[in-house]
């Protein structure tokens, strides 16, 4: 009986009036920035949340969605993805995450997003409404390729709905993606330093050489910033002989502190170096995909530098690390008072972001914090905390209706709304499911 009502209730939006106005009622509402509201209502008008509370009533013409027994959450934000810019990792032609060249601030990921990517419907079907599309640097399929570039381009913040990337846009330039120079362990997966374990023919690069490379890269980076500053000055003062340059133009918002730099690093040293650099160059910094926190907690907290953590479900960095070192990293960041969001740094696994958050809870992260890491924290880190990330009056109606806790796998996402518009949850996987289930 209940299912029946629900089914009818779900189909109502197709019959009733304006698509981006509706009232959800009878659900447990989870604003994230406030306590949960049992038997609550969310009122949406023209794509914005205009009311949250108990027993709100729908104005005339606004359809009602009965959601008894269900839950309403803000739409999930994935703070690091390849969605739309990489289709099949192994096929180079379908991958656009990494360009050639060392300093490419002028590259914009937004315009390379394919709104018809099969990954988009599949991902939003699990309640992910907004993602950051991150350029990763040369080498093929994003993080699978590895960075050769230092400044890789502008990351875009987009909604997972729209006929064109223009319609999807939330922020064309949410951050400048940087792979900060750092001294990497020379062995990679052969870590441990035992020379007799190297495969035959493999020669080690010495720390001295690594350091030289690092220092020269750092020098190049600093010079680039200096040139950008000179350009900035020349432009401001309308210096004679001034010629516009796309690369330096793209650096201006970074120098002005309007666009943060996401420094992809890894180890503690990379974080340290990035923080120092940001101090020296006076730019806003976000730490990208750190694999450890080390002793950097207090400094990150004091300087209000947030982080975007990669997948929780990862192997430890070193053989001697605790087996749960990656699992408990989010909890570590939380305990150190460092604000963070979570990113899948993937396309195919973006839909599993809430489960990464769930595992973090098992290993010490409070449940509310886990939810914040994929909603409000993310929104605030990307500078759209006034528009997204929680169920509050005045914010966009990016939200989902579920039959349970979104961090639990078994939970079904019943409905998704982006800016108040119903999102079509049909996707390639579901279509193939129906088709082949019905095969005689």
| Binding stretches for another protein (CB under 8 A) | 87-91, 118-119, 183, 185-186, 191-196, 198-201, 203-210, 267-269, 313-316, 318-320, 322-324, 347-348, 351-352, 355, 358-359, 361-363, 407-412, 428-430, 432-433, 436-437, 439
Residue 146's Cβ-count burial label (10 Å; 0-12, 13-18, 19+) is middle
CB of 124 to another protein, least distance (A): 15
CB of 252 to another protein, least distance (A): 35
Could you give the CA distance from residue 276 to residue 263 in angstroms, rounded to a whole number? 12
Three-state secondary structure call for residue 375: coil
Q: Toward another protein, which CB reaches closer, 196 or 237? A: 196
Q: Taking the mean position of all CA atoms in its chain, how far away is CA 185?
A: 27
CB of 196 to another protein, least distance (A): 4
Q: Going along 282-327, which residue ranges are E strands?
A: 285-288, 307-309
C-alpha to C-alpha distances, 26 to 43, 55, 65, 373, nearest whole angstrom:
12, 8, 9, 26
Return the DSSP state at 115: T
Q: Toward another protein, which CB reaches closer, 183 or 264? A: 183
CB of 351 to another protein, least distance (A): 8
Q: Toward another protein, which CB reaches closer, 219 or 429? A: 429
CB of 84 to another protein, least distance (A): 13
CB of 428 to another protein, least distance (A): 8
Closest C-alpha to 98, from 116, 118, 112: 112
CB of 59 to another protein, least distance (A): 36
Three-state secondary structure call for residue 230: helix
Q: Toward another protein, which CB reaches closer, 1 or 90? A: 90
The DSSP bridge partners found for residue 346 are: 81
Q: Toward another protein, which CB reaches closer, 227 or 324? A: 324
The DSSP bridge partners found for residue 157 are: 132, 171
Judge contact between 137 and 149, C-beta under 8 A.
yes
Q: What is the DSSP string of 61-100?
A: T-EEEE-TT-EEEEPEEEEEE-TTTBS-TT-GGGB-S--S
Q: Toward another protein, which CB reaches closer, 49 or 361? A: 361
CB of 434 to another protein, least distance (A): 9
Judge contact between 389 and 75, C-beta under 8 A.
no
Q: How many CB atoms lie within 10 A of CB 204?
A: 13
Q: Toward another protein, which CB reaches closer, 88 or 218? A: 88
Q: Toward another protein, which CB reaches closer, 181 or 358? A: 358
Q: Toward another protein, which CB reaches closer, 166 or 424? A: 424
Q: 369: part of which helix (H) or strand (E)?
A: helix 367-373
CB of 173 to another protein, least distance (A): 27
Per-residue buried b or exposed e for 47-61, using 16+ beta carbons within 10 Å of the residue's own CB: bbbbebeeebebeee
C-alpha to C-alpha distances, 361 to 73, 148, 273, 327, 345, nearest whole angstrom:
18, 35, 30, 9, 20
Q: Toward another protein, which CB reaches closer, 1 or 315? A: 315
CB of 80 to another protein, least distance (A): 17
């Amino acid at each position: 009986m209940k299912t029946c009502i629900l089914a009818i209730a779900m189909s109502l939006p197709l019959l009733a009036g304006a698509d981006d106005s509706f009232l959800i009622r009878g659900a447990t509402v989870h604003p994230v920035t406030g306590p949960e509201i049992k038997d609550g209502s969310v009122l949406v008008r023209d794509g914005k949340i205009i009311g949250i509370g108990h027993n709100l009533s729908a104005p005339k013409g606004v359809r009602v969605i009965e959601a008894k027994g269900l839950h309403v959450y803000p739409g999930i934000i994935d703070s690091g993805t390849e969605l739309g810019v990489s289709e099949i990792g192994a096929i180079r032609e379908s991958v656009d995450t990494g360009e050639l060249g060392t300093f490419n601030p002028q590259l914009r990921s937004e315009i390379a997003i394919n709104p018809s990517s099969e990954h988009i419907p599949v991902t939003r079907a699990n309640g992910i409404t907004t993602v950051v599309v991150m350029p990763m640097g040369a080498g093929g399929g994003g993080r699978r390729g590895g960075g050769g570039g230092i400044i890789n381009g502008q990351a875009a913040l987009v909604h997972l709905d729209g006929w064109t990337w223009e319609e999807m846009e939330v922020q064309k330039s949410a951050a400048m993606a940087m792979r900060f120079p750092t001294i990497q362990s020379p062995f990679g997966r052969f870590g441990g330093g035992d020379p007799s374990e190297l495969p035959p023919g493999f020669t080690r690069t010495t720390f001295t050489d690594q350091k030289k490379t690092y220092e020269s890269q750092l020098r190049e980076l600093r010079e680039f910033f200096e040139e950008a500053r000179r350009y900035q000055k020349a432009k401001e003062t309308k210096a004679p002989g001034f010629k516009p340059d796309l690369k330096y133009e793209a650096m201006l918002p970074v120098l002005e502190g309007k666009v943060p730099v996401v420094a992809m690093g890894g180890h503690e040293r990379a974080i340290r170096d990035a923080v120092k650099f940001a101090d020296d160059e006076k730019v806003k910094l976000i730490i990208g995909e750190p694999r450890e926190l080390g002793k950097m907690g207090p400094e990150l907290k004091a300087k209000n530098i947030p982080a975007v953590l990669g997948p929780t479900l990862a192997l430890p960095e070193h053989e001697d690390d605790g087996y749960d070192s990656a699992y408990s990293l989010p909890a570590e960041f939380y305990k150190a008072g460092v604000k963070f969001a979570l990113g899948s740094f993937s396309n195919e696994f973006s839909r599993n972001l809430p489960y990464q958050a769930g595992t973090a809870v098992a290993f010490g992260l409070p449940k509310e914090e886990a939810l914040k890491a994929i909603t409000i924290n993310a929104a605030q880190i990307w500078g759209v905390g006034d528009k997204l990330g929680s169920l509050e009056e005045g914010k966009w109606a990016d939200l989902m209706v579920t039959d349970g806790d979104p961090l639990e796998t078994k939970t079904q996402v019943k409905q998704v709304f982006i800016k108040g518009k119903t999102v079509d949850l049909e996707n390639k996987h579901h279509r193939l499911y129906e088709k082949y289930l019905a095969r005689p």
